[in-house]
A and B are shown apart, each in its own frame.
Chain A
Amino acid sequence: MTIQIRNTIRFILNHRLVELADVSPVQTLLDFLRIDRNLKGTKEGCAEGDCGACTVLIGRLLDGKLKYESVNACIRFVGSLDGCHIVTVDSLAQPAGPLHPVQQAMVDTHASQCGFCTPGFVMSLYGLWMENSKPSIAEIEKALQGNLCRCTGYAAIIRAAEAISTIGDIGKDPLVAERDRIAGELAALQDGRRVEIGSETERFILPGSVDDFAAVLEANPKATIVAGSTDVGLWVTKFMRDISPVIHLTHLEELRRITVDADGVTLGAGVSYAEAYPVIVAHFPELTELWDRIGGQQVRNMGTVGGNIANGSPIGDTPPALIALGAAITLRKGDRRRTVVLEDFFIAYGKQDREPGEFVESVRIPFVSDKARVAVYKVTKRLDEDITAVCGGFNIAFEAGRVSDAIIAFGGMAATPKRAAHVEAVLKGAEWNEETIERAVAAFDQDFTPLTDWRASAEYRQLVAKNLLRRFYLETQSSGGQLRLDRTIAVAV
């Protein structure tokens, strides 16, 4: 097979096609917009994907269908955008023309004060409006989890979000009305070629297919694989690390496939959290709250389950839940594939069972048996858009009032996502009652010696881990009263 190579990247920036041959692998979209293109509407607030001031929309194709998603331009590499449509706040209204309905709603409701976060809010709300023109308060809040405002207290912004559809008609929005034309233009950019830019310390590659990816990675085993760049972006913006050569997974639609069969779900390693969401909600409803609390919407649009696993963080959002569910991953090197049970993948802090040249290709999550009860609890300092202090995944099966099987995994309690083996041992075979729970709770001290850091003290982590088992137990009892915060309390006018 001859690989055809292209040495430029091409994308549509607002209304114009851009083709670039000279791009650094660490060039961020935000700097490109602000410095190279003089598009100053998009702001830098934190340069780590946490404040949303730099939110832009990226339109990309999956199976020929075009979807726009909010992303953080500060941690998105320009190199990853080949074949995409980048929409910035600068393009929403013509210089002397009327404001876009989202913008007008923000003005009408006094939703900007200092105005610095505002373009980011406008773009997040625009992204939401395109998907859902009559969102509920909860949906608005979820869409705004990745946008910080320090002035308004958000009340006026929520009022704006509710008012948009009274000002404009989504059907008349240019990106909606002209979706087919833009999709066609993007499709025309897809030539199936491998893209290679730069050389030596300034190099990045966009493989044309998964097979090509395997070959490129085998040839460049030290390459940095970038899927959503929600982690690698910070290596560059915060630690100024050199990451060349970089391999972007942009073109690998095969890695964005989701397969559901009789026994479980397989997620390609490039499936974003947002793309996985409907399947997770449908088949693993116990993970819904966890999924809703991964980063903000921008991070869920960018980040991938595969990347969350591959980077091996002890406080990654998905591993405790996936370990509890008995998930396994397929690793691939060249043509060789092997399957590893997820918990075995995490060897030590910063060390995973992944050879040079090998990559995570997919994640397999088996369905839960009817005898089992699953729960996932993520505990954080701030409820949304925060990194785990403690996260517990529980999968406990019962037979005749006894525990027939138990898998319990925790994040934030050790140097890796880790199972609570001693706790499980106490539970297995035991009668399901308070006395058993208290014996199991005592076993946490054998399983974990957590650290103290800025997210939580060791003492708090240990206590919460124990309490999460207690909560799991209470939730199996019929008369526990209110056991969780009621996030659905209706917002009155």
Chain B
Amino acid sequence: MNVMQPIDRIRGGVHENERHESGHKHVSGTAEYIDDIPEPQGTLHGYLGLSQRAHADILSIDFEAVNASEGVIGVLTAADIPGENDISPAHKHDEPIFVTDKVEFHGQPIFAVVATSREAARRAAAKVKIEYRDLPHVTDVLEAAAANYPLVIDPLKLERGDIDAGFAKAKNILEGEMRIGGQDHFYLEGQISFAIPGEDDEVLVYSSTQHPAETQHMVATVLGVPSNAVTVNVRRMGGGFGGKETQANIFAAVAAVAAKKYRCPVKVRPDRDDDMSATGKRHDFHVDYKLGFDDEGHIEAVDAVFSARCGYSADLSGPVTDRALFHADNCYFYPNVRLRSRPLKTNTVSNTAFRGFGGPQGMVGGERMIEDIAYAIGKDPLEIRKLNFYGGEGRNLTPYHQTVEDNIIGRIIEELETSADYAKRREAVIAFNRESNVVKRGIALTPVKFGISFTKTEYNQAGALVHVYTDGSIHLNHGGTEMGQGLYTKVAQVVADEFQVDLDRIKVTATTTGKVPNTSATAASSGSDLNGMAAANAAQQIKERLVKFAAERWNVAEADVAFEPNVVRIGAERLSFNEFIKIAYGARIQLSAAGFYKTPKIHWNRAEGRGRPFFYYAYGASCSEVSVDTLTGEYQVDRTDILHDVGRSLNPALDLGQVEGAFVQGMGWLTTEELWWDAKGRLRTHAPSTYKIPLASDRPRVFNTRLAEWSVNREETIRRSKAVGEPPFMLGISVLEALSMAAASVAEYRIAPRLDAPATPERVLMAIERLRAAARQKG
């Protein structure tokens, strides 16, 4: 038996800057996305036919020209759906795959063409003749309220303290409103599904989905078969951001229905324009608020209504609008508070999950209130922020009655203030603005506190499947999906660390409903927290068996068996991991385990608006400085400094990428990304030519991002790390506020600029004009 020389540590364990497991494949074009999977002979292609009206009765549909079009195999309508014509994730039965007699938004699917090529299907779909009878439509959230449009789901109310007493006590009361725009996900890989029919009722669906288990369930429901007949598989997505949490389902369902009907593989991939017209986005919000505060800027009372453009159906609008309320406090203690959501129906595509899931909109609303106080009493908004942070006796209870126990925002802000040289630069900005007439500058430092866990408690569970093969290589599968965030890499690092083997021993395989069942969406930043724990649990089960076996076989105490780097130490003896595994196999030790995890401590009672919906909070802060051209409203971000908390990072390099990417995406949401509907209710910004996400040249001219390396999650999360997907998205708020300050400079910072989002150059210029006019009036 060999005596192995011990090495220090394994390659690619936790807390290492390991590269993305698919990095080399991304750069060489060999990473396989669904559209790259070799198509079996006879593969057909489906293409959706979309409504050309925002709200109308369908009087007749003529498919003659469609059917006569070259390459067409057939047309699918609601009548071709064997099971239920519904994919509502809220189980409200309000989301048909194909509408029958009435369309409720411009771009709503009515039918699908199946043809021998995608091109043929697409050209044929355009040849349909549909007779409509128009009905009045509403696309805007305030118009929907005025028109008494219904709510798509029950609203939420959070209440604490005595709101009336709070306002009665407050020396200053201020009312305001704000519009916050939506956002398209603009995942680079569009929606796509590829279904291959199997025997009996079976079907295999490759779907670019963040939620394979729900896609499986929806496909089964639509086909009218049990879930065990449907397997959903996803190796990776070309971006998700929430846009493939529920929005992938229709494409999967249509591909599956067509595959079963025609007994051929069927792929469905919409053009980018149709993808952007027919799938949901981030909710636009209107915030109506009333604030009470004292002369120093301490908040006494907050009363706010968050109205959201939900679109025609419920989808995830309930939990999205809930999460807006959960984050309207951001880092601030509201002594007396009432927050209400108003999830309004509109004749637009049904809005859905998007990184932050309503949280960003709630937080922007909360930060707007802070800004208003600051301009009202003539102070730096950062001062008002600090005055109102959670912390101190009786100042730790959120509007939803969860106690903030892990608050580190004070230290984050303090460190960032110093490293970004905030105070001095703010003075310099004010000095610059005094001298400069055309270009004006602004600077803002804003905090983030984001609650981690699905607010739907049952989603906070995960499974994993780990096999150790007789050659010592390890197969890892878990319920999370890879959309670029590096989840597969991180979970593999966890498993490598558990077994103490080099990372290259571990292969993460495509997420599939056949290996790990009943999984949750890879969403709510939960991927590593949940799946990392489940995978660790599976590895631990195998390890326990191995330890027990080794102790018995070598006659040592279990405590004398240890997994050391690539080696198993038994008493004084050291065996290579491979060798040991071979022996264990020979002794008939089970080398496979299904792991499981559920988040502890959390509970939530929506009806009462009370509970502990979040296991913990992630924190961060950013400081942005901007220059604004006051003749055109054009601007640039001159510098951004970020300090962000990811607990004890599983992979600092990947986490840094998440933080940088999220910041730029958040900045895009609040600046140039504008959704624009015309009078006919048609979205006109439905392609990159008209919908402008940030470019390389839009990122801050100076961009300093750091992780708070000292932070350790006080809760027992996987290796004390924290979730990273969503929280840094809200770091982008500092850009919006810096733009506000630049605008405010034209009125000597005495008037709240009330810049709506997205702050396009047009909105910035119009705010400047408004402020100039107001300043002239004020004298």
Determine if B769 is an interface residue (Cβ-Cβ < 8 Å).
Answer: yes
Known: A481-B436, A481-B439. A106 touches B23 (CB 8 A): yes
Cα–Cα distance between A148 and B240 once the two chains are bound (Å): 15
Determine if B322 is an interface residue (Cβ-Cβ < 8 Å).
Answer: no
Determine if B665 is an interface residue (Cβ-Cβ < 8 Å).
Answer: yes
Determine if B435 is an interface residue (Cβ-Cβ < 8 Å).
Answer: yes
Evaluate contact between A50 and B687: CB separation under 8 angstroms: yes
**Which of the residues A117, A238, A379, A481 comes within 8 Å of B438, measured between beta carbons?**
A481
Q: Which residue of A lies closest to B482 (CB)?
A: A114
Known: A110-B654, A153-B699. A115 touches B636 (CB 8 A): no
Determine if B27 is an interface residue (Cβ-Cβ < 8 Å).
Answer: yes
Evaluate contact between B19 and A107: CB separation under 8 angstroms: yes
- 13 A-B pairs besides A150-B241, A238-B273, A454-B685 with CB distance below 8 A are A40-B32, A103-B24, A103-B28, A112-B22, A114-B236, A115-B23, A141-B695, A154-B699, A158-B696, A381-B760, A457-B762, A468-B632, A492-B704
Evaluate contact between A480 and B696: CB separation under 8 angstroms: no
Can you report 19 residue pairs joining A to B where beta carbons are below 8 Å apart? A41-B29, A47-B272, A50-B688, A93-B28, A112-B23, A113-B484, A119-B28, A148-B188, A240-B126, A379-B634, A380-B761, A381-B762, A386-B692, A387-B690, A453-B676, A460-B766, A464-B632, A489-B639, A491-B701
Q: Which residue of A lies closest to B697 (CB)?
A: A141
Known: A154-B696, A481-B438. A387 touches B676 (CB 8 A): no
Cα–Cα distance between A95 and B126 once the two chains are bound (Å): 41
Evaluate contact between B438 and A483: CB separation under 8 angstroms: yes
Q: Which residue of B lies closest to A489 (CB)?
A: B701
CB distance from A474 to the nearest CB of B (A): 7
Determine if B684 is an interface residue (Cβ-Cβ < 8 Å).
Answer: yes
Query: Which residues of the partner chain B approach A107 to less than 8 Å between Cβ atoms?
Result: 19, 23-24, 27
Query: Which residues of the partner chain A approach B664 to less than 8 Å between Cβ atoms?
Result: 152-154
Query: Which residues of the partner chain A approach B31 to less than 8 Å between Cβ atoms?
Result: 115
Known: A107-B19, A453-B684, A454-B685. A148 touches B27 (CB 8 A): no
Evaluate contact between A45 and B189: CB separation under 8 angstroms: yes
Determine if A360 is an interface residue (Cβ-Cβ < 8 Å).
Answer: no
Cα–Cα distance between A457 and B765 once the two chains are bound (Å): 12
Evaluate contact between B696 and A147: CB separation under 8 angstroms: yes
**Highest count of chain A CB atoms <10 Å: which of B35, B185, B684, B761:** B761
CB distance from B733 to the nearest CB of A (A): 15
Determine if A196 is an interface residue (Cβ-Cβ < 8 Å).
Answer: no
Query: Which residues of the partner chain B approach A486 to less than 8 Å between Cβ atoms?
Result: 439, 627, 638
Evaluate contact between A89 and B665: CB separation under 8 angstroms: no
Known: A148-B186, A463-B769. A156 touches B236 (CB 8 A): no
Determine if A336 is an interface residue (Cβ-Cβ < 8 Å).
Answer: no
Evaluate contact between B188 and A106: CB separation under 8 angstroms: no
Evaluate contact between B632 and A46: CB separation under 8 angstroms: no
Known: A41-B28, A460-B766. A151 touches B272 (CB 8 A): no
**Highest count of chain A CB atoms <10 Å: which of B272, B437, B663:** B272
Known: A40-B29, A43-B238. A383 touches B697 (CB 8 A): yes
Query: Which residues of the partner chain B approach A50 to less than 8 Å between Cβ atoms?
Result: 687-689
CB distance from A446 to the nearest CB of B (A): 21
Evaluate contact between B636 and A460: CB separation under 8 angstroms: no
Evaluate contact between A114 and B238: CB separation under 8 angstroms: yes
Query: Which residues of the partner chain B approach A250 to less than 8 Å between Cβ atoms?
Result: none
Cα–Cα distance between A45 and B22 once the two chains are bound (Å): 19
Determine if B753 is an interface residue (Cβ-Cβ < 8 Å).
Answer: no
Closest 5 A/B residue pairs (Cβ): A41-B29, A116-B238, A114-B484, A115-B26, A153-B664
Determine if B657 is an interface residue (Cβ-Cβ < 8 Å).
Answer: yes
Evaluate contact between B661 and A113: CB separation under 8 angstroms: yes
Query: Which residues of the partner chain A approach B636 to less than 8 Å between Cβ atoms?
Result: 383, 485, 487
Cα–Cα distance between A206 and B574 once the two chains are bound (Å): 73
Which of chain B's residues 660-684 have a Cβ closer than 8 Å to chain A?
Answer: 660-665, 672, 674, 676, 678, 684
Known: A381-B674, A464-B765, A485-B634. A48 touches B484 (CB 8 A): no
Majority secondary structure, A binding face: loop
**Which of the residues B22, B185, B241, B654 comes within 8 Å of A115, measured between beta carbons?**
B22
Determine if A172 is an interface residue (Cβ-Cβ < 8 Å).
Answer: no
Q: Which residue of A lies closest to B676 (CB)?
A: A454
**Which of the residues B185, B188, B627, B657 comes within 8 Å of A156, measured between beta carbons?**
B657
Cα–Cα distance between A48 and B688 once the two chains are bound (Å): 8
Annotate B81-125 by CB proximity to A: 1 below 8 A, 0 otherwise. Answer: 000000000000000000000000000000000000001001100
Categorize the interface residue count of chain B: 35 or more
Determine if B414 is an interface residue (Cβ-Cβ < 8 Å).
Answer: no
Known: A44-B35, A454-B690. A119 touches B696 (CB 8 A): no
Cα–Cα distance between A102 and B29 once the two chains are bound (Å): 13
Cα–Cα distance between A457 and B676 once the two chains are bound (Å): 11
**Which of the residues B29, B239, B672 comes within 8 Å of A381, measured between beta carbons?**
B672
Annotate B633-654 by CB proximity to A: 1 below 8 A, 0 otherwise. Answer: 1111011000000000000011
Query: Which residues of the partner chain A approach B16 to less than 8 Å between Cβ atoms?
Result: none
Q: Chain A: how many interface residues by the 8 Å CB criterion? A: 94
Determine if B149 is an interface residue (Cβ-Cβ < 8 Å).
Answer: no
Determine if B5 is an interface residue (Cβ-Cβ < 8 Å).
Answer: no
Annotate B256-274 by CB proximity to A: 1 below 8 A, 0 otherwise. Answer: 0000000000000001110
Which of chain B's residues 668-726 have a Cβ closer than 8 Å to chain A?
Answer: 672, 674, 676, 678, 684-685, 687-690, 692-699, 701-705
Cα–Cα distance between A150 and B272 once the two chains are bound (Å): 15
Determine if A140 is an interface residue (Cβ-Cβ < 8 Å).
Answer: yes
Q: Which residue of A lies closest to B238 (CB)?
A: A116
Evaluate contact between A43 and B33: CB separation under 8 angstroms: yes
Evaluate contact between A43 and B189: CB separation under 8 angstroms: yes
Cα–Cα distance between A112 and B704 once the two chains are bound (Å): 19
Known: A48-B688, A112-B23. A153 touches B437 (CB 8 A): no
Evaluate contact between A384 and B698: CB separation under 8 angstroms: yes
Evaluate contact between A467 and B632: CB separation under 8 angstroms: yes
Evaluate contact between B486 and A113: CB separation under 8 angstroms: yes
Determine if A122 is an interface residue (Cβ-Cβ < 8 Å).
Answer: yes
Q: Which residue of A lies closest to B438 (CB)?
A: A483
Query: Which residues of the partner chain B approach A491 to less than 8 Å between Cβ atoms?
Result: 701-703
**Which of the residues A112, A152, A386 comes within 8 Å of B660, measured between beta carbons?**
A152
Determine if A155 is an interface residue (Cβ-Cβ < 8 Å).
Answer: yes
Determine if B30 is an interface residue (Cβ-Cβ < 8 Å).
Answer: yes
Determine if B234 is an interface residue (Cβ-Cβ < 8 Å).
Answer: no
Which of chain B's residues 465-485 have a Cβ closer than 8 Å to chain A?
Answer: 483-485
**Highest count of chain B CB atoms <10 Å: which of A93, A141, A155, A487:** A155
Cα–Cα distance between A377 and B710 once the two chains are bound (Å): 48
Evaluate contact between A45 and B674: CB separation under 8 angstroms: no
Cα–Cα distance between A455 and B684 once the two chains are bound (Å): 10
Determine if B200 is an interface residue (Cβ-Cβ < 8 Å).
Answer: no
CB distance from A136 to the nearest CB of B (A): 13
Evaluate contact between B438 and A471: CB separation under 8 angstroms: yes
Evaluate contact between B189 and A48: CB separation under 8 angstroms: no
Annotate A26-64 by CB proximity to B: 1 below 8 A, 0 otherwise. Answer: 000001001000101111111110110100000000000
Determine if B287 is an interface residue (Cβ-Cβ < 8 Å).
Answer: no
Determine if A470 is an interface residue (Cβ-Cβ < 8 Å).
Answer: yes
Query: Which residues of the partner chain B approach A457 to less than 8 Å between Cβ atoms?
Result: 762
Which of chain A's residues 471-493 have a Cβ closer than 8 Å to chain B?
Answer: 471, 474, 480-487, 489-492
Which of chain A's residues 210-236 have a Cβ closer than 8 Å to chain B?
Answer: none
Cα–Cα distance between A387 and B692 once the two chains are bound (Å): 10
CB distance from B273 to the nearest CB of A (A): 7
Annotate B265-288 by CB proximity to A: 1 below 8 A, 0 otherwise. Answer: 000000111000000000000000
Cα–Cα distance between A103 and B30 once the two chains are bound (Å): 12
**Which of the residues B188, B674, B678 comes within 8 Å of A116, measured between beta carbons?**
B188
CB distance from A268 to the nearest CB of B (A): 27
Known: A152-B661, A155-B660. A385 touches B438 (CB 8 A): no
CB distance from A299 to the nearest CB of B (A): 11
Cα–Cα distance between A142 and B697 once the two chains are bound (Å): 8
Determine if A149 is an interface residue (Cβ-Cβ < 8 Å).
Answer: yes
CB distance from B677 to the nearest CB of A (A): 9
CB distance from B275 to the nearest CB of A (A): 10
Known: A48-B687, A114-B239, A485-B635. A152 touches B657 (CB 8 A): yes
